[in-house]
Amino acid sequence: QVQFVESGGGLVQPGGPTRLSCVVDRGFSIFTVAWYRQAPGKRREVVATITRGDLETYADSVKGRFTISRDNVKKTVYLQMNSLKPDDTAVYYCGIGESYYGPWGQGTQVTVSA
């Protein structure tokens, strides 16, 4: 099974940027990789996806603020997050495609607060 190791994030002020990284241990070049997030008391949702051909999709709530990218040599997917809002506070996870049900990595916490 594929394993994900997410990192980055932390405490960020509203309006600020941060960047998340996700290392995928196998099969990286053939997958559409997605960033998901789960806020307290809410369901996990897809934030952005990137195909093996570098086609990107974004949730409406993050369009124009977040950018997903991938480095096939490093087997890593990034999520550049700009103009952060308190509503972006969540644990962020990597997954495969838009209908992934696990297993999940440990995720990385992003907290947007003054």
Give residue-wise pLDDT tens across range 41-98.
999 999 999 999 999 999 999 999 999 999 988 999 999 999 999 999 999 999 999 9
CB 66 within 8 A of CB 58: yes
* CA–CA distance, 81 with 48 (Å, rounded to integer): 11
Q: What local confidence, expressed as pLDDT, does residue 29 receive? A: 72
Cα 16 to Cα 82, 88, 98, 112, distances in angstroms: 6, 11, 27, 8
| 103 prior amide bond cis, ω within 30 | yes
| Sign of the alpha-carbon dihedral angle for 40, 11, 101, 98 | positive
Structure tokens at 16: 């600020």
| Four-CA torsion 15, 21, 22, 26, nearest 10 degrees | 150
Residue 94: which H helix or E strand, with range?
strand 90-96
Q: What is the CA radius of gyration of the chain?
A: 13
pLDDT tens-place string over residues 72-86: 889 999 999 999 999
pLDDT in tens, 15-30: 999 999 999 987 777 7
